A and B are shown apart, each in its own frame.
Chain A
Amino acid sequence: MESVWVLLLLTCIFAESFASPRGLIFNLENGELCLQSAQCKSNCCHRKSGLSLARCADKAAENQECSRKHLYGVYYRCPCENGLTCKADWTIVGSITNSDFGICQDPAEKK
């Protein structure tokens, strides 16, 4: 009985993955599982910690925490929205461990 359910579930998953015109690999909505930011509509593939799964999420708004754009493609803090810069210090350890966090700021704003 158990195996029947598992089989049914898997069939559903495969059936949907081939039938679906929406994103399974690209053009993913927020909340969908991703491996790379390029897959997401929002262009940010986000995960909370090194062990958690990554999902597409909105980019960071002004005054929110952010990461600089980098080549890993998966972020602990999303990069900033257009027009904003992520004010973060660049460190060697941070760039390796993907933890150069900062705050999104508008470069035009005079401090």
Chain B
Amino acid sequence: MLAFWSLALLLNSVATGKEVCYDRLGCFTDNVPYSGTTERPISKLPWTPEKINTRFLLYTKKNPNNFQEITAVNPETIGYSNFDTNKTTRFITHGFVDDGEENWLSDMCRRMFTVEDVNCICIDWSSGSRCPYTQAANNIRVVGAEVAYFINVLVEDYGYSLSKVHFIGHSLGAHVAAELGRRVPGIKRITGLDPAQPYFEGTPNEIKLDRTDAEFVDVIHTDSAPTIPYMGFGIRQAVGHLDFYPNGGEYMPGCKRNALSQIVDIDGIWEGTRDFVACNHLRSYKYYSDSILYPDGFLGYPCAAYNLFETGCFPCPTSGCPKMGHYADQYKDQITSSSGFMKLYLNTADAKDFARWRYKLSVTLSGKSSVRGYINIALYGTGGNTKQHQIFQGKLQPGSTHTVFTDLEINPGTVTKVKFLWNNNIINPTLPKLGAAKITVQDGEDGNVYNFCGSDTVREDVLQTLTPC
């Protein structure tokens, strides 16, 4: 293996040192660190802008379903279009093998239009993404230069402000931001949706997305297991101001279905096939898309690691939890230049809608006899009632207290009552009775604690209602 790499490096040290120059965009070399390093053994120069064919597809509230193609090479196309210079512009960029006309990009635009009026520009560089990975990983430099050129035209010809630019990139598309951030410093925000790992993990900041590329950089990691041998496509290291690791950042719920169920998806065979190939990796934009509709459904809890989050790091600090996804920039003012990388953890659902609300539940049991079984709890509040969540399984000992963190599928609001149920799956002829003497519920978002008391006990599979005390 070592011999292979040293040979590869040797070959590359010969091969590197070339340069290509293109009109408008300038020159691109394959010198270190772009090639000839252990992270990037194969050297490739980016293709020509004509071959990559970066297209800007504009969606606005006036044309949410059909895009208008605009280009900075002919700036009058921007003038003729529905582009509004008074509004924020959000660029959405796809990744490797993907396509800018793929549904998820325009769907994300339409979701945005339900909450805000923006210029939503989907960037298509499919001609440059459908090629060997090593080539595509270099083609993004030209895409980054094209986006930078586009933004510069907006600034020069239309007096557009960089504080209105938000760039969203998925996978390889997230690293477009590296070239963009270097050419146009001072962009308001860049969002990396599971930035690609191979050829970028551990490389210098000029190649990959990092926190210097914009004033605010937020990243969602959903597939950060090592590429070898786990086939994780997303970057592991924290690279932004805020780095969210939903479900731990490596394996997403709902991605371990059997092959048939995964491919024959509710959203169709094509969506299912995409998930079959890269389910974890694609979850990042699905979470982002859902976060537009659920501002408080994706709170990221600051924590040192995921296993600590599972048993603590609760509730949110007094300054609040940053929101994963669309509303992450609401936390921007609380980031100081001295603060290090901020890792945030949360759990999501296994299918859309992915939003979840984290609560801490603790139950104190009452009764006479102890049995083996499980406990369920359902919360009832101003926002509706939840399904029953299993709190504990094992020996149910009267007097004992069980505490867990649960991610609820709805936001119950102010909790008004709680229901308790216990069950064991074996028939017990002594007909034991158990109850909950006290249930404490703590809300993760603002730390509110609600106490509920019960005096009676119930038979198996009978709901006991507890009221505030």
Contacts and interface: CB of A to CB of B under 8 A. Distances in A.
Interface in A59-111: 59, 61-63, 81-84, 106, 108-109
Interface stretch (B20-28, B290-298, B385-393): B385-393
Contacts of A61: 378, 385-388
A86 to B, nearest CB: 14
B264 interface: yes
A29 B258 CA distance: 9
Contact of B387 (A31, A53, A58, A108): A58
A106 B461 CA distance: 11
Given A16-B258, A17-B258, A83 B421 contact: yes
26 contacts: A13-B259, A13-B263, A16-B259, A17-B258, A17-B259, A17-B260, A28-B261, A29-B257, A30-B351, A31-B254, A31-B266, A32-B261, A33-B264, A58-B387, A61-B378, A61-B387, A61-B388, A62-B419, A82-B388, A82-B423, A83-B388, A83-B421, A83-B462, A84-B463, A106-B463, A109-B465
B274 interface: no
B258 A20 contact: yes
B350 interface: yes
B376 interface: yes
Contacts of A82: 376, 388, 421, 423, 461
A62 B258 CA distance: 30
Contacts of A109: 465
Residue in B254, B260, B463 whose Cβ sees the most chain A Cβ within 10 Å? B463
A12 interface: yes
Contacts of A30: 350-351
Interface residues of B, number: 27
A7 to B, nearest CB: 14
B463 A108 contact: yes
B87 interface: no
A83 B387 CA distance: 12
Given A31-B351, A63-B385, A81-B388, A55 B463 contact: no
B395 interface: no
Contact of A33 (B256, B261, B380, B385): B261
B465 A108 contact: yes
Contacts of A9: 263
